[in-house]
Amino acid sequence: MNIVILSRNVNLYSTQRLIEEAENRGHCVEVIDPLECDLIIEKERPTILYRERYLDDVDAIIPRIGASVTYYGCAVVRQFEMMNVFSTVSSDAIIRSRDKLRSFQHLSKAGVDMPKTVFTNYSSDVKKVITQVGGTPVVIKLLEGTQGIGVVLAESENAAESVLEAFNGLEARALVQEYIVEAKGADLRALIVDGKVVGAMKRQGKDGEFRSNLHRGGTYEQYNLDDNEIRLATKAARKLKLPICGVDILQSNRGPLVLEINSTPGLEGIEVASGKNISKAIITYIERHRIK
């Protein structure tokens, strides 16, 4: 098969591992920067022009679309879909997962457990918002932040008010979410491929840091999910129609809670921690579904 990885950086661990595993299985692989693609839209003949050549011989794509290029990156994925090219994750699913409010609304309707969350239209009544999520401390998140960026822990009502006022002044939409104290700055990452958990790890924030993201200096270790955590992770992925994703879970006194879902999860930490060949699982997933 001819497989295209949509990535802006060929040197990333995740991109290199996917290339390696695809080539090991006899496939031709090319890494293409989605921002260098021109989308040609005409009656019954959607095409993509990349560096003066048409991409009309692609069998499957693996979107590795960064949050900063979501709009155009997803337009490229959608164009491939219009050309009947198999994608490991659909453009609609990426967009749905990137909007935290939208994804939480879908998960809430589906009965997926998560921290209590409030979204308001630039409300000035911060006290009411804080009361609705159970009081301070609270976590305030930008709707489209990633890797812990745009996530703030407000430990007092005054701090929460200051953060919300700052976000409101920038016209940046934000969610207010209850803070799960008992998680102690740690969370679980479950990696889903084809609707099944293929690897998991526990991430721990560095001292004094409530965010466990590896990009924020967090550490990770291998972790075996229990049955409840597996059911929660697979249900969340299924409800957001993400056959491949990372599901972040908080351990709380009332059971596991979905913190976030990442439609293009990094592979380095999870492969190292779990000892599982997740890149191979993704290529195998393409082979199974591309043949159908």
Sheet of strand 86-87, all strands in order from the earlier edge strand to the far edge: 28-32, 2-6, 60-63, 86-87
Looking up residue 57, the CATH number of its domain turns out to be: 3.40.50.20
In this structure, the answer to whether residues 260 and 214 fall within a common structural domain is: yes
Kindly report the pTM of this predicted structure. 0.87
Per-residue pLDDT reduced to its tens digit, 150-166: 788 888 888 888 888 78
Per-residue pLDDT reduced to its tens digit, 2-39: 999 999 999 999 999 999 999 999 999 999 999 999 99
- How many domains does the chain contain in total? 3
Instruction: Say how far apart CA 226 and CA 256 lie, in whole Å.
Output: 10
Looking up residue 277, the CATH number of its domain turns out to be: 3.30.470.20
Classify residue 106: in a domain, yes or no.
no
In terms of residue numbers, what domain contains 6?
A: 2-88
In this structure, the answer to whether residues 277 and 188 fall within a common structural domain is: yes
147 Cα distance to chain centroid = 10
In this structure, the answer to whether residues 230 and 260 fall within a common structural domain is: yes
Instruction: Say how far apart CA 32 and CA 74 lie, in whole Å.
Output: 14
In this structure, the answer to whether residues 83 and 157 fall within a common structural domain is: no
Give the pLDDT band (50/70/90) at residue 124.
low
Centre a 10 Å sphere on the Cβ of residue 52 and count the other Cβ atoms it contains.
6
Looking up residue 124, the CATH number of its domain turns out to be: 3.30.1490.20
Report strand pairing: 53-54 vs 60-63. Answer: unpaired
In this structure, the answer to whether residues 189 and 173 fall within a common structural domain is: no
Classify residue 213: in a domain, yes or no.
yes
Residues 6+ apart with CB under 8 A from 169: none
Per-residue pLDDT reduced to its tens digit, 220-267: 899 999 999 999 999 999 999 999 999 999 999 999 999 999 999 999
Instruction: Say how far apart CA 86 and CA 59 lie, in whole Å.
Output: 6
Give the pLDDT band (50/70/90) at residue 213.
low
Centre a 10 Å sphere on the Cβ of residue 292 and count the other Cβ atoms it contains.
5
Is residue 111 packed enough to be buried (19+ CB in 10 Å), middle (13-18) or exposed (0-12)?
exposed
Per-residue pLDDT reduced to its tens digit, 66-87: 888 999 999 999 999 999 999 9
Classify residue 105: in a domain, yes or no.
no
- 99 with 141: CB under 8 angstroms? no
Classify residue 265: in a domain, yes or no.
yes
